[in-house]
Amino acid sequence: MTAVQTPRVDSSAEASAVSKLVERVKRVVSSNPSVLPTVAAIVIFVGMVIYGEVAYGRIVQYNTLSNLLINNAHLIILAVGMTFVILTGGIDLSVGSVIALSSVAGVMLANAGWSPWLVMLLMVLIGTAFGLASGILIQYFNVQPFIATLAMMFLGRGLAALLSTQPERLADDSPILWLGEQFKVIDGEKVNDVVVTPGVIIALVVVLVAFFLLHRTRTGRTVYAIGGSESSSALMGLAVPRTKVLVYVISGTLAGLAAVVYTSRLGIAQNITGIGWELDAIAATVIGGTLLTGGYGYVLGSVVGALVLGLMNVLITRDGGIPPEMTTIITGGILLVFVLLQRAVTSKRHT
Amino acid sequence: MSTAARSSWLRELIRKPFFWGLIAIVALLALNVVKDPNYLAFSVNPTNGNLVGNLIDILRASAPILMIAVGMSLVIATGGIDLSVGSVMAVSGAVSMVVMKDAGQSGSLGVALGAMGLALLVSAVLGAVNGVLVAYVGLQPFISTLIMMLAGRGIAKVITEGQNTSASNEAFRWIANGFLVGVPVVFLFAIAIVIVVGLVVRRSALGLMIEAIGINPKASRMAGIRPSGLLLTVYILSAVLAGVAGIMSVGTVMTVDVSRTGYQMELDAILAVVIGGTSLSGGKFSIGGAVVGALLIATLDKTIVFLGISSSATPAFKAIVIVVLCLLQSERVRSWFVQRRKPPQGRMTSSLAPVKQENQEVTA
């Protein structure tokens, strides 16, 4: 993000700065090849920003960039949760429908006059319950992760439909909407302001906590170790069962939190909300350099991955020539390209 | 003598993995009969001699599920999974509807055959993409088919430009709604395909080879089986069968609803396979089990609607069933039962043991 906003200096100084940066990146990559996909994601993001600015204009400016964050706060939260799961070599296909169930239930409870704080807590806890259920199925009953979470996906979608199949609207004066309210941080010219919502701040806090948890604690190291080799980590005496359940609980809880953030921004919930978001979250994680087989990856990479997807939507909208039906095809295509890339990188590492 | 023979026959039936599926069908039908005593009644439509009744409806509804369940059991036998079947149904439905619409509203048989042919061809291409990604590129099956599941629905929307498209063609409609000697054509058609597939895989070594891949791809390669070609075939077959299912399900209403046709059918397929007693970790399959599974799902669907629950909530019930079945398959739950009964069993547990490692090898 910061690299994008550096002011233009004259060309010679810029060239030397760029070459210095490239040198440094090269050194980091050669000392630790697993950062390569994440570096690639950052390069792609910067490339998309430059392309967008040149082709359509009005990309590198305060309001576009802050809208990018506001509109994708929920996706960032989801991608962070998905990173934990994929790092252990698992997958969570249930996040999209957990969001649907959690937001439909939340809006209905709020409209029934429940206290907004209690409602938001319950929305998060619905996610936790789903994550716990998947985790227990996977860890203690040896169900394959994608089967267990696929079942949870249908359970969530079905329960949401059981509650209501109509769009449920939050009351206009509902305090939950405060989370989606925009605050001006920097007042720019006309509408060109830096704005944040409490939702964005929640997403940033989630990212920071996840970063700390993954890279600075014993639990985080266990997560990576399980992805590297589950049996070796068990032999080393790491808390494998507890950690494996924990990653699904984290992913579910964050899906519940994403539901709060998303609902507060839109004020509407429906049983078909979030179809295909599991693909977006997986794509963000994979684009950000997390290997689908587990063991390698960075939470910050997933954030970049989520922003790449968000920016892609902005560019598609700006372009106007691409029908909106194409979006899932393009997301799928990008995911495919990155999975193939991973395949190439990992097969090179093995030989 | 006769009682002994009967009891051994019964024991044989109880051993069959899909026995509980049959019990469940009977239980659901009994539930329906409690609600409406005339539920099982048949009657013959006096004007055209067709059978009508709830059971006939269930048979008709089970046809598309049968198709995808058979394809899915072969895919799962190789240790893979095909999450894209529902989307392939939508694509196949979209292609056939758009072709017939563009051909004008002529009711000719040629147009219907052309539409079906093109729909199946497109399905086969999508299946081939899955197959190439799994067999030759070596991606995990669930991720390749997950991409296809979400992209496929996008493709269906692009084909129809996002609209639900209708067409009319009597020949096409007959496949889904017609009757032959009083029985729905669609069911006869599905059963015929199932029998053909079943004979091909069981009368040749094909089924054995598919199971060998699912048990241990490396060993089967060393035994002279070439997994790539077989995997490709299985994914193409699964997609083509899904294409047939798509034609059947759009044929009933002659409209493709790009966001609902085949939606969440992958759950039905997986459910049918698990009900049929096939372990999700691959290595074996049972076409007969898949048939029982498909019939049970169709019965479950009809029962839920009959009991007055919104049909969009059915996935929740199915998810619960699938979770229970997965639990019953798990070693831990089985060991509880084994401890309680204490029979001399080495067989039952040994077939379950090497589940996890195998699968990781296949997907890695």
A292, A286 contact by CB (below 8 A): yes
Distance from C-alpha of A141 to C-alpha of B41, rounded to nearest angstrom: 42
Q: What is the pLDDT of residue A11?
A: 57
* Residue A7 pLDDT greater than 60, yes or no: no
Q: What are the extents of the domains in chain B?
A: 51-331
Q: What is the pLDDT of residue B238?
A: 96
Where are any strands of DSSP class E within chain B? Answer: 43-44, 51-52, 165-166, 179-180, 183-184, 255-256
Q: pLDDT of A126-174, one tens digit each? A: 999 999 999 999 999 988 898 899 999 999 999 999 898 889 888 888 8
Q: What is the pLDDT of residue B364?
A: 37
Nearest residue in B to A282, CA atom: B143
A91, A282 contact by CB (below 8 A): yes
Q: Among B72, B35, B91, which Cα is nearest to B306's?
A: B35
Distance from C-alpha of B19 to C-alpha of A42, rounded to nearest angstrom: 55
Go through A183-196 and write b for each residue having 16 or more CB atoms within 10 A of its CB, e for each that does not.
eeeeeeeeeebbbb
CB-nearest to A323 from B158, B281, B316 is: B158
CB-nearest to A332 from B147, B281, B310 is: B147
Q: pLDDT of A93-119, one tens digit each? A: 999 999 999 999 999 999 998 899 999
CB-nearest to B280 from A144, A154, A279 is: A144
CB-nearest to B319 from A151, A326, A328 is: A151
Looking at beta carbons, which residues of chain A come within 8 Å of B151?
Answer: 328-329, 331-333
CA distances to A225, B15, B256 from A221, rounded to whole Å, are 6, 46, 50
Looking at beta carbons, which residues of chain A come within 8 Å of B154?
Answer: 325-329, 332
Q: What is the pLDDT of residue B339?
A: 65
Residue type, A87: L
Q: Average pLDDT by consecutive 10-residue portion of chain B (364 residues)?
A: 69 74 87 84 74 85 93 92 94 93 78 92 96 91 90 91 86 84 87 93 88 86 87 95 94 87 86 83 86 92 86 85 83 75 50 43 40
Distance from CA of A11 to the nearest CA of B (A): 43
Instruction: Give the confidence band of A9 by pLDDT, cuts at 50, 70, 90.
Output: very low
Looking at beta carbons, which residues of chain B come within 8 Å of A282?
Answer: 143, 146
CB-nearest to A141 from B140, B270, B333 is: B333
Q: What is the pLDDT of residue B258?
A: 86
Distance from C-alpha of B211 to C-alpha of B79, rounded to nearest angstrom: 8
Any B CB within 8 A of A241 CB:
no
Distance from CA of B170 to the nearest CA of A (A): 31
The DSSP annotation for A143-184 comes to --HHHHHHHHHHHHHHHHHHH-SSPEE--TT-GGGGGG--EE
Burial of A110 (0-12, 13-18, 19+ CB in 10 A): buried
Residue with more model confidence, B142 or A254? A254
Q: Tokens 């669609």 map to which residue?
A: B186
Looking at beta carbons, which residues of chain A come within 8 Å of B140?
Answer: 292-293
CB-nearest to B316 from A162, A326, A328 is: A162
Architecture of domain B51-331: Orthogonal Bundle (1.10)
A275, A94 contact by CB (below 8 A): no
Nearest residue in A to B322, CA atom: A151
Kind plus residue range of the DSSP H or E element containing A195: strand A194-196
Helices (H), chain A: 2-5, 11-31, 36-55, 62-87, 95-111, 116-141, 145-163, 198-216, 218-228, 230-235, 240-266, 277-287, 299-319, 326-350
Residues 322-341 of B with CB under 8 A from A: 322-323, 326-327, 330-333
* Residue A13 pLDDT greater than 80, yes or no: no
Q: Specify whether the backbone of B308 is left (phi greater than 0), alpha (psi in -120 to 50) or beta.
A: left
Any A CB within 8 A of B354 CB:
no
Any A CB within 8 A of B81 CB:
yes
What is residue B294's DSSP assignment?
H
CB-nearest to A140 from B138, B142, B332 is: B332
Q: 3-state DSSP call for residue B279?
A: coil
Looking at beta carbons, which residues of chain B come within 8 Å of A137?
Answer: 323, 326-327
Q: Does A150 contact B267 at a Cβ distance shorter than 8 Å?
A: yes
**How high is the mean pLDDT of chain A?**
87
Q: What is the pLDDT of residue B9?
A: 77
- Residues 6+ away with beta carbon under 8 Å from B351: none
Residue A337 exposure: Cα atoms within 13 Å on the Cβ side: 12
Q: Does B150 contact A276 at a Cβ distance shorter than 8 Å?
A: yes
What is residue B283's DSSP assignment?
S
B212, B78 contact by CB (below 8 A): no
Q: Does B281 contact A333 at a Cβ distance shorter than 8 Å?
A: no
Q: Does A144 contact B359 at a Cβ distance shorter than 8 Å?
A: yes
Distance from C-alpha of B173 to C-alpha of B244, rounded to nearest angstrom: 14
Q: Among B68, B118, B63, which Cα is nearest to B89's?
A: B68
